[in-house]
Structures are given as structure tokens and as C-alpha cells.
Amino acid sequence: MNIADMTIKEIKEWLETCKELPAEVQALFMADARSGVQAVYRRWQRNQEKARKQQERWLEMSRYERELWKRGYRHIAGVDEVGRGPLAGPVVTAAVILPQDFYLPGLNDSKKVSPAQREVMYERIMEGAVAVSIAMSDAPLIDEMNIFQATLRAMHEAVRGLQVVPDITLNDAVTIPQLSLEQRPLIGGDGKSISIAAASIVAKVERDRLMKEYDRQYPGYGFASNMGYGTAEHLAALREKGPCPIHRRSFGGVLQS
């Protein structure tokens, strides 16, 4: 292949199919005096570096899964929750079992992923997972049990709702009571395990969609933007309107309204 005889468009299209370039080909690019060729080549280099870092990150975040798969565990369920801190709405939990060949670059703790990226990842997870289960505890149950116990209950329901029985669960920080399965709690697990991160993404997207629906049912509190958290707008609405049916009346910000 003679780079000098190719147009910039041809080079760009060809590079899009390449994951690696031999040293002699890279030397041809570096020797090409055309500024457009240099720009295309630098872009390819940046993309390759990004892909390399994503692969390294994936290997780091899948180390618990790979260790367990190697030991013969077949179905590993990641379990996480979203929504323990808000003043309104449910706490939502998810349990996700990923196949061993699953790969989703950029998968991370849902708090570290943009809303648009979360939506794309959610679809990929729902399409590619072996099994997904979602459960929640609503505001009245949170008030009755307290937020921690209500979260554990929802996690238990999410695991029990999986259509494939897991061999083990990887949980974000907690041990789920009365669950007759092997468990491994990981502190900060949504940033350390692909299974827990996937559960974090699913739970976050599900809860955000639900809060947007609640915003239509109970306008004026800003649920579509604050997701039930105690923003200044939300607290002002509470003082003016009082709590609505999805508010957690045992939480301080609601009690003071």
C-alpha cells in the first residue's frame, strides 16, 4: 500500500478499519507532508489510545468476574441501588448477570456517566445481559422501615426476581440479609465491578424515568431535574406546597416543610 497515492478521504476510510499499523506504515504516515494526512493520522492515534485505555479499564473492572468465572462460577449477579438520599421517590435496585463475552467500553458507576451515555449503556445492558431484575421500595415503605432496611429489602427482591439463579452476587458495599446465596460485598463496587456498574446504570435509568413521570403527576417540585433530591428549588416548593404522596415524610427536609 502506497499512502502517497491515496486521497485523504481514502486514507481516513482505510484507517477506520485498522486497529494496528505496522511500524513501516506508521513511518510512511509520519513522512507524508500533507497536513490533512497528518490530522487524520493523529486522530487515529488518539482513538487507538482511547481504546487501549478503555480496554485496560475494562480488564481492571472485570477482575472479580474473571476470577470467579475461572473458579467455575457461571452466573454472577451484580447488585446495586440508586436513590437512598432523595427526599422523594423510591429507592430502586437492580440485579444484573452479564455473559462472559460482554464488552461495553466506558461502563462505570452511573454517577460518573452522563445521562446520554447512561441511556445508551442501559439499552446495551438490557439487550446483552443474561438476566436483569429491578425492584424498588416506595416512600411509605421507606418511612415505615427506614431507608437502609428498605434498600436491603429491594435488593433482596431484585436478586430473587432474576430469571436465572445466580451462583454468587457481587453487592455494592452491603450484605443482603436472608439471601440463601453466596455473596461478596465490595465497597465502592460500582466503580470496581462491571456487574455492579451495570446494575447501577440500570437502576439509575429506571429511577430517572420514573421521577420524570412523577414530575408530570406532581408538578411544581422539579422532579424531572432534581430526581427528588433536596435542591433549593425542591425545598422552596416543599415550603410552599407541602409534601406530595411520593415524599419521604421521615426525612428531615420534608419534616421541616
* Number of domains the chain is built from: 2
Residue where one domain finishes, among candidates 16, 31, 61: 61
**Residue 124 pLDDT:** 98
pLDDT tens-place string over residues 49-64: 888 898 999 999 999 9
Q: How confident is the model at residue 1 (pLDDT cuts 50, 70, 90)?
A: low
Looking at the structure, tell me whether residues 159 and 220 fall in a common domain.
yes
Tell me the whole-structure pTM to 2 decimals.
0.87
CATH number at residue 159: 3.30.420.10
pLDDT tens-place string over residues 108-150: 999 999 999 999 999 999 999 999 999 999 999 999 999 999 9
| Cα gap 127→135, rounded to integer Å | 19
Looking at the structure, tell me whether residues 101 and 220 fall in a common domain.
yes
- pLDDT reading at 257 higher than 80: no
Q: What are phi and psi of 99, to 5 degrees?
A: -75, 160
Q: What is the span of the domain harbouring residue 161?
A: 73-253
| Cα gap 48→42, rounded to integer Å | 10
Looking at the structure, tell me whether residues 57 and 77 fall in a common domain.
no
| Cα gap 255→257, rounded to integer Å | 6
Say which residues have a Cβ less than 8 Å from residue 98's Cβ, sequence separation at least 6: 65, 76, 78, 125, 128, 129, 130, 194, 195, 198
Looking at the structure, tell me whether residues 95 and 222 fall in a common domain.
yes
Looking at the structure, tell me whether residues 172 and 230 fall in a common domain.
yes
Q: Among all chains, which residue has been given the C-alpha cell 467500553?
A: 105
pLDDT tens-place string over residues 20-32: 888 888 888 888 8
Q: What are phi and psi of 82, to 5 degrees?
A: -140, 135
Known binding residue 81? Answer is yes
| Cα gap 156→194, rounded to integer Å | 20
CA 195 vs CA 93, 96, 112, 176: distances in Å = 13, 6, 16, 16
Known binding residue 208? Answer is no
Looking at the structure, tell me whether residues 166 and 53 fall in a common domain.
no
Known binding residue 157? Answer is no
**Residue 57 pLDDT:** 93
Spatial contact of 231 and 224, defined as CB atoms under 8 Å apart: no
Q: What is the mean pLDDT of residues 71-96?
A: 98
